[in-house]
Amino acid sequence: MPDLPNARPLPAGARPLVALSGGPDSTALLLWLLESGLDVVAAHYDHALRPGSDRDAARVTAFCARLGVPLLVERRRQPCPRGSLQAAARDLRYAFLARALQETGRDLVCLGHTADDVVEGMVLHLIRGAGLAGLRGMPRRRGPFLRPLLDVWRSEIEAYLAARGVEPLRDPSNADCDRFARARVRHRLLPRLERDRPGLVRRLHHVASIAARLQADLEEAAGALLDEGGVSRAALREAPRPVRFEAYRQLYGRLPALSRRQLEAMDGLALEGRTGAGLDLPGGLRFHLEAERVTIGVARLPAPTTPALGIRLCPGCGDPDVAHLRPGLPLRVGYRRPGLRMRPVGAPGSRKLQDILTDARVPRHLRDRLPLVFAGDRLAWVPGIAVDVEAAAPPGVPAWHVALRGAGEIPVVPSPSAHPRSLVS
């Protein structure tokens, strides 16, 4: 009986969720995983984009029931986002699969994309204009999503199902060459190229495999540059241009992907821009230039919610999120204003607040949102960063245990090594 010898085994101990459309590829994937002895759960998303899709969902449900496979089914209720119908359907399906993964407590989502899908994706990317990532067709794994069948051809899938007497669903949109570019590539372009140059499709798949390995190396090198939600500007200056661009993509981490023009603009700022400069990005985000690194955050933050102070008498504790201040101080919460200074515990002399925040690596665009605690008009505590000498309670005596309550999103110091421990109460 035909098998799928080129399918990639799953990681040891994996408990997969199968994205099951009911078509040939996902059906073969489900059967192959079951025959491999794995504990499998399936998930089916009904896009509700054509008449009869509910009947397809019913057939998938019945199929899983015969196999004894637990199944999650969801039907689209909300309108599709504007733009490409296929892109919108894909985004909704992946969002459903992410929810299903969380609900079932599984390790990963297995997708049924095949070697043919790799080549079709590669050609579509080349037609639109693509780099190394597009040349690979699609990644074998991205986060929890895994594609075990990327070296299995569609003809092998059909033979595998036929040998088991399984007739899968057939989505008519896959043959709609008038509406969908992928259908035109699948049914018109690639067959003509293969007819003129026999073996071309497999050679394209080989090229995509090489590109995938090179892209994996590139992603690993770029990932090594990321640190605590940012990238060091010094490291960027030493990295090759392709690694820098991939680092920006990983830092952004959203879809749709950044354009080359946006990546070039980010690169120019990172290498030569002045501290405080920035660039607006899709999705309401902004590329921020700090003194020593670059970050990506929300472009327009809502007005901060001023937190309340929680104060109680404390004999002394090791809570790193509070300050121990002298009892009786007239404490209040405020925000940064020009000219603020303090004498931090453990540091010599008086220092500007601006310099303290810079040394603590608080992003410039978040500094005005950082709640500060004042004793009268004097700056007493920069939460998580520094306590003023005059406000700090002497060691070994009862003190006010001061905490911020309901602070919402407060800028966080990126790393404990960014400031001496002695600066924190």
Q: At what angle do helices 260-272 and 241-252 cross, to 10 degrees?
A: 110
Q: Tell which of 211, 240, 266 closes a domain.
A: 211
pTM to 2 decimal places? 0.69
- Contact between 424 and 387 (Cβ < 8 Å): yes
Confidence bin at 407 (pLDDT 50/70/90): low
**Domain co-membership, 338 together with 274:** no
For residues 143, 233, 270, 221, the Cα torsion angle rounded to the nearest 10 degrees is: -40
CA distances from 201 to 118, 198, 252 (A): 10, 8, 33
Q: Tell which of 298, 323, 348 closes a domain.
A: 298
In CATH, what number is assigned to the domain containing residue 75? 3.40.50.620
**Domain co-membership, 285 together with 379:** no
**Domain co-membership, 261 together with 354:** no
Q: At what angle do helices 24-35 and 53-67 cross, to 10 degrees?
A: 10
Q: What is the mean pLDDT of the chain?
A: 89
Q: Find the domain containing 355 and state its range.
A: 308-423
| Cα end-to-end span (Å), the chain | 70
Name the phi and psi angles at 312, rounded to 5.
Answer: -150, 160
pLDDT at 236: 96
**Domain co-membership, 238 together with 370:** no
**Domain co-membership, 253 together with 377:** no
| Overall domain count for the chain | 3
Mean pLDDT within 9-38: 96
Classify burial at 206, counting beta carbons within 10 Å of its beta carbon; exposed 0-12, middle 13-18, buried 19 or more.
Answer: exposed
**Domain co-membership, 105 together with 37:** yes
Residue 269 in any domain: the answer is yes
Residue 252 in any domain: the answer is yes
**Domain co-membership, 203 together with 166:** yes
Distance, CA of 100 to CA of 40 (rounded, Å): 13
Q: Tell which of 245, 277, 298 closes a domain.
A: 298
Residue 217 in any domain: the answer is no
Q: Is 213 helix (H, G, I), strand (E, B) or coil?
A: helix
Per-residue pLDDT tens over the stretch 264-312:
999 999 999 998 899 999 888 899 998 899 999 877 666 778 899 999 9
Between 156 and 417, residue with greater pLDDT: 156
pLDDT at 320: 83
Q: Is the pLDDT of residue 244 over 60?
A: yes
In CATH, what number is assigned to the domain containing residue 234? 3.30.465.60
Between 257 and 354, residue with greater pLDDT: 354
- Contact between 76 and 95 (Cβ < 8 Å): no
Residue 408 in any domain: the answer is yes
**Domain co-membership, 258 together with 318:** no
**Domain co-membership, 356 together with 403:** yes
Residue 6 in any domain: the answer is no
Confidence bin at 405 (pLDDT 50/70/90): confident
**Domain co-membership, 262 together with 194:** no
Residue 113 in any domain: the answer is yes
**Domain co-membership, 327 together with 365:** yes
Residue 2 in any domain: the answer is no
Residue 266 in any domain: the answer is yes
Rg of the chain (C-alpha set): 28
Per-residue pLDDT tens over the stretch 159-202:
999 999 999 999 888 888 998 899 999 999 999 999 999 999 99
**Domain co-membership, 73 together with 186:** yes
pLDDT at 301: 66
